[in-house]
Structure 1
Amino acid sequence: MNIVKSVLIAAILSLATVMPSAYAVKDGETFKSWKGHCEKFQGKEFCGISQTVVDADKKPVVNIFIRKVKVKDKPNHIAFIKVPLGVNLQAGLGLAVDKKEIARVPYTVCDPAGCNAILPLKEELINKIKTGGKMQIGVLLVNKEIVLTASLSGVTKALEAL
């Protein structure tokens, strides 16, 4: 595990208490377009759901990872989104569901694998994601916006498994 990933996990843990380790989602479990993903960090298992968006050459371009945490004793979801290097950091990341913008998210850190954005998903956003068909991820390169699409097929069952 690289140092930046460790720092990101530590930062999230400082903001939120991890939900109990009895995750219903299993590593590798498939929910149509989403997959369960678990890893250990400092002796604890952390699980969530993820989807990797690939380009026309089948190369991974965007990774979306959603997990459940407790914030002020209330369950909440957090999305971690990794995009390639070379994005305009000041513009942030745009998210839309079925082409209706739901959030503009600042980047938190870039590492050799890409730039990361972290978005707390309040109930209103979760409901939009559950009822949508596609999620658009917009990134700004040198004065050119690129929009990538992730399928939301299976996301409701995947979120319920967290």
Structure 2
Amino acid sequence: MAFAQKSNTASAAFLASLMLVAPLALATHATAQQAGKVKSSHGSWSIVCDTPAGAPGEQCALMQNVIADDRPEVGLSVVVLKTADQQARILRVLAPLGVLLPSGLGLNVDGKDIGRAYFVRCFSDGCYAEVILDETLLTTLRGGTTATFIVFQTPEEGIGIPVDLSGFTEGYAALP
């Protein structure tokens, strides 16, 4: 499972996945910063494409930007992409600066706890958590209606930010 559960086995699997993905954070940071061009919309999701400097071709991602209902200063960018070599799928979430990093990013889908991912890096625009989007998590997102990402500003205070999954399945299928 891509999001770490509380067991040691799942934590080890998550950390192994993270080690595979962490180098991609730097390589694709510039792409995440560029607005790109919206190629298509699928429910609440958009496919955004751009050709980064030095890249052999266009790179696309499935994206949704959301803001917490009760905390307008807390927003997330949720990005799903396939690596240029088509060997991996990545779920990347950009959270605002000021989140409590050790608590990580929680995820539940339709009320079911999926687990937590650790933040891998912070830049001037916020902090990134990313995981390999394995088949189990992909199936969960495709079958869900709402994914709630939880960021923490204190160890006791989690802020749940709902992400509408309508259009996710179609958008993912259209992602080059």
CA RMSD of aligned residues (A): 2.3
**What are the ranges of 5 or more consecutive residues in structure 1 without an aligned counterpart?**
1-6, 13-25
- Tell me which protein shows more helix as a share of its residues: 2
Tell me whether 1:78 sits opposite 2:90 in the alignment: yes
Tell me whether 1:148 sits opposite 2:161 in the alignment: yes
Q: Is the 8 A contact 1:28 1:35 kept in 2?
A: yes
- Tell me which protein shows more strand as a share of its residues: 1
Q: Is the 8 A contact 1:27 1:47 kept in 2?
A: no
- Equivalent of residue 111 in structure 2, options 99, 117, 128: 99
Distance 1:158 1:75 in 2: 19
The residue type paired with residue 75 of structure 2 is: V
**What SS does structure 2 have at the residue aligned with 1:130?**
helix
- Equivalent of residue 8 in structure 1, options 22, 25, 31: 25
Deviations 1:43-86 (A, max 9, x none): 3221010000024486671000101137xx87432011001111
Count of aligned pairs:
141
- Equivalent of residue 31 in structure 1, options 42, 57, 80: 42
Tell me whether 1:139 sits opposite 2:156 in the alignment: no
Distance 1:9 1:27 in 2: 23
**What SS does structure 2 have at the residue aligned with 1:66?**
strand
Distance 2:64 2:124 in 1: 20
Distance 2:45 2:26 in 1: 21
TM-score (norm 2): 0.72
**What are the ranges of 5 or more consecutive residues in structure 2 without an aligned counterpart?**
1-23, 30-36
Q: Is the 8 A contact 2:75 2:96 kept in 1?
A: yes
Q: Is the 8 A contact 1:36 1:47 kept in 2?
A: yes
TM-score (norm 1): 0.77
